[in-house]
Amino acid sequence: MIEEHDELGAGAGHHEELYLVLEGRARFTVAGEELDAPAGTLVFVRDPATRRAATAAEPDTTILVIGGTVGKAFDPSPWESWLEALPFYEAKDFDAAAAVLERALVAHPDNPNVLYNLACCEALAGRQEDAAAHLSRAAELDPRVRTWAARDPDLDAVRDAL
């Protein structure tokens, strides 16, 4: 339910996070320690560097996640733009997914994760020139992009741009 992550990467918001299990039961792993979390359980992760994940231990488990940076008004992390774009991507409306990511790029200029996901959507929408430019910029900013792109079928049409 909550993929294993920390809040330090380029797509992360450097947030503290509070998880509330609303329904069902989850199994959290926080800094390598496992925690059984039935409905009503709160799990707080203060340190953005701490690795955390959760899986559903019962059907229909629901978890509310609240995250933020101490002393600052909430600002969605760059990665969250992908969550907004994902329904369009899954519906194969790649232009609409790209539009979401283009707005995210205004809020998070030169973010390699946003650039990478934007390039994927643009390539799938047939906008190869834009996709190639965004993929190249993402690779300049984060060397891992070359590895990701090498095996991502979304980028078949523009992989040579790297």
**Model confidence pLDDT, tens digit, residues 23-44:** 999 999 999 999 999 999 999 9
Q: Flag whether the pTM goes above 0.85.
A: no
Element (H, E) at 30: strand 25-30
Q: Residues near 23 by Cβ (< 8 Å), separated by ≥ 6?
A: 39, 60, 61, 62
Q: What is the CATH number of domain 2-68?
A: 2.60.120.10
Domain boundaries, given as residue ranges, for the chain? 2-68, 80-157
pLDDT band at residue 12 using 50, 70 and 90 as cut-offs: confident
Q: Are strands 2-5 and 25-30 parallel, antiparallel or unpaired?
A: unpaired
Mean pLDDT of 111-138: 96
75 pLDDT more than 80: no
Fold of the domain spanning 80-157: 1.25.40
Residue with tokens 């203060």: 46
